[in-house]
């Protein structure tokens, strides 16, 4: 579940929990809203943790040439 999906679940859950004032037979819309709200928050936390903690940290940092270095073109390289 991505960040966008989590935010949509949070929004729909909050609308069902706090803005809808309908009584139904068989199930409670407020409970469904609370379940969607909690699922969205959990999904958002997991997505953020995935992006920050479990990201690939083995990626090498790009090397930057110093100002005094001049790039040298080798004759053996094909362009």
What digits encode the pLDDT tens for the residues 7-16?
Answer: 999 999 999 9
The dihedral sign for the CA sequence 32, 46, 10, 2: negative
For 26-59, the pLDDT digits (tens) are 888 999 999 999 999 999 999 998 888 776 665 6
Q: What is the pTM of this model?
A: 0.65
User: Using an 8 Å Cβ cutoff, are 44 and 7 in contact?
Assistant: yes
Domain segments of the chain as ranges: 3-52
10-49 exposure pattern, b = at least 16 Cβ within 10 A, e = fewer: beebeebbeeeeeeeeeeeebebbbebbebbeebbeebee
């Amino acid at each position: 579940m991505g960040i966008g999906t989590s935010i949509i679940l949070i929004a729909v859950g909050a609308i069902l929990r706090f803005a809808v004032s309908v009584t139904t037979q068989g199930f409670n819309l407020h409970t469904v809203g609370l379940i969607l709200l909690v699922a969205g928050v959990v999904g958002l936390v997991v997505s953020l943790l995935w992006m920050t903690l479990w990201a690939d940290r083995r990626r090498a940092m790009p090397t930057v040439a110093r100002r005094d270095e001049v790039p040298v073109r080798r004759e053996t390289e094909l362009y």
